[in-house]
């Protein structure tokens, strides 16, 4: 059975995380799984870009690097970045055949994300470093059953409360308990999250560092120059600093060497991070209040047509409240969602409560500024329609 056939039998969205099954599968087959140095990226926002920056930095040093990320925008292959390129169908099929020959009928029992995670290790089997982006969870995430050499935590905030916990303490605890023995935590956290990180590190006897590279006055201008050179969103600066600090700890780099690496760093090749696709259209795959606040800061001097929709399990009230200062009008983008219901009437109720003007999206006008935001699925549907014009 080909990998596309396997994927067609699995649902991308899960309503419950079960680490026990993934762990049992790992224990059963771990002697067959390729051994690599694994770096896990955990957090709420910024995982994808932090991981990709780190992958680019390691690649520039001559290492063979695999970066596993999720979800994808257009194609499943986007989840597997190998030495600067998205994995081909041929490579995925070869890895799938190898995985299937080991797992046999058990391959059908794996969830979509569990299957993709195991597949990654066969795609990246010849790599020096594998960077694993955790999915929804932390402690119970599919990526957490593997041996992790270094843990990196981006900012932790509210998202997926139905799976992770109803308050920040519960969410942070679930994520932080995935830490390995070597840990770097972004300092852009609430104090209670940093305190909890230290407590868990003490219990695990882990070596924990809080990021501080963004305070380095010698390096800061070079990071700023890089962001401006490639017209990247300002919030990506924090993620680049976190990646640089991780890189410096893994490869023992000094200040001068880090500055040199920034100078050699190519443009971030990750779509949908406040990406400008035309003169008046920006797209962002963010889907929570934290992402909304970051975008509100970027567009604070402007008014945008917000092309938006969201899933029923998202807090559209808080998201729209965060974006309200920059919204001229919300244009609701309708698309089909098989696995997860859209917010529907609840979205309309929240728009009314917030007194935000709205209408159904119809077309892009040249003289207006547009921000497409709400989810990977929304961005995918919008871009497919936009590219087909």
User: Residue for token digits 């299957």?
Assistant: 115
- DSSP state letter for 159: -
pLDDT at 12: 78
Q: Nearest Cα to 286, choosing from 318, 319, 239, 313?
A: 319
SS3 content of the chain, % helix, strand, coil (to 5): 45, 15, 40
CA distances from 184 to 31, 42, 152 (A): 29, 10, 5
- DSSP state letter for 44: S
pTM of the model: 0.95
Do you know the residue count of the chain? 389
CA distances from 78 to 159, 167, 271, 273 (A): 23, 32, 10, 15
- Kind of pairing, strands 370-373 and 304-308? parallel
Q: How far apart are the first and last CA of the chain?
A: 36
In which residue ranges of the chain is pLDDT below 70?
1, 14-17, 19, 159-165, 388-389
Q: What is the pLDDT of residues 123-156, one digit of tens each?
A: 999 999 999 999 877 888 999 999 999 999 999 9
pLDDT at 140: 85
The structural domains of the chain, ordered by start, are: 3-264 (3.40.1190.10), 275-387 (3.90.190.20)
pLDDT at 191: 95
Q: What is the pLDDT of residues 56-100, one digit of tens each?
A: 999 999 999 999 999 999 999 999 999 999 999 999 999 999 999
Residue 130 phi/psi, 5-degree rounding, is -120, 125
pLDDT at 135: 86
Task: Report the SS3 class of residue 238.
Answer: helix
pLDDT at 26: 96
> Are the C-beta atoms of residues 95 and 2 closer than 8 Å to each other?
no
């Amino acid at each position: 059975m080909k990998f596309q056939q396997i994927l067609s039998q699995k649902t991308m969205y899960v309503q419950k995380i079960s680490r026990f099954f993934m762990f049992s599968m790992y224990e059963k087959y771990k002697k067959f799984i390729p051994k690599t140095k694994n770096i896990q990226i955990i957090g709420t926002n910024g995982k994808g870009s932090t991981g990709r920056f780190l992958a680019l930095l390691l690649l520039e040093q001559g290492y063979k690097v695999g970066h596993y990320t999720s979800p994808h925008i257009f194609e499943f292959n986007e989840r597997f970045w190998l030495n600067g390129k998205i994995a081909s169908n041929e490579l995925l099929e070869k890895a799938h055949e190898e995985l299937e020959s080991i797992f046999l009928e058990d391959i059908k029992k794996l969830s979509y994300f569990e299957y993709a995670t195991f597949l990654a290790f066969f795609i990246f089997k010849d790599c020096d470093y594998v960077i694993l982006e955790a999915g929804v969870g932390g402690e119970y995430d599919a990526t957490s059953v593997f041996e992790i050499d270094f843990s990196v935590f981006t900012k932790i905030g509210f998202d997926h409360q139905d799976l992770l916990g109803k308050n920040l303490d519960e969410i942070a605890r679930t994520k932080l308990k995935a830490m390995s023995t070597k840990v770097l935590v972004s300092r852009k956290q609430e104090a209670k999250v940093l305190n909890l990180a230290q407590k868990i590190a003490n219990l695990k006897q882990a070596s924990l560092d809080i990021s501080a590279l963004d305070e380095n006055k010698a390096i800061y201008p070079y990071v700023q120059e890089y962001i401006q050179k490639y017209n990247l969103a300002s919030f990506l600066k924090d993620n680049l600093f976190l990646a640089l600090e991780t890189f410096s700890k893994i490869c023992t780099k000094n200040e001068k060497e880090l500055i040199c690496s920034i100078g050699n760093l190519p443009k971030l090749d990750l779509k949908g991070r406040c990406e400008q696709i035309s003169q008046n259209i920006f797209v962002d795959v963010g889907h929570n209040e934290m992402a909304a606040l970051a975008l509100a800061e970027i567009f604070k001097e402007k008014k945008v047509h917000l092309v938006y929709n969201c899933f029923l399990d998202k807090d559209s009230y808080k998201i729209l409240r965060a974006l309200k200062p920059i919204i001229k009008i919300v244009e609701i983008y309708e698309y089909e969602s098989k696995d997860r219901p859209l917010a529907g009437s609840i979205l309309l109720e929240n728009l009314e409560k917030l007194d935000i003007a709205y209408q159904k999206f119809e077309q892009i006008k040249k003289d207006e500024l547009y921000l497409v935001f709400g989810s990977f699925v929304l961005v995918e549907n919008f871009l497919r329609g936009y590219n087909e014009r």
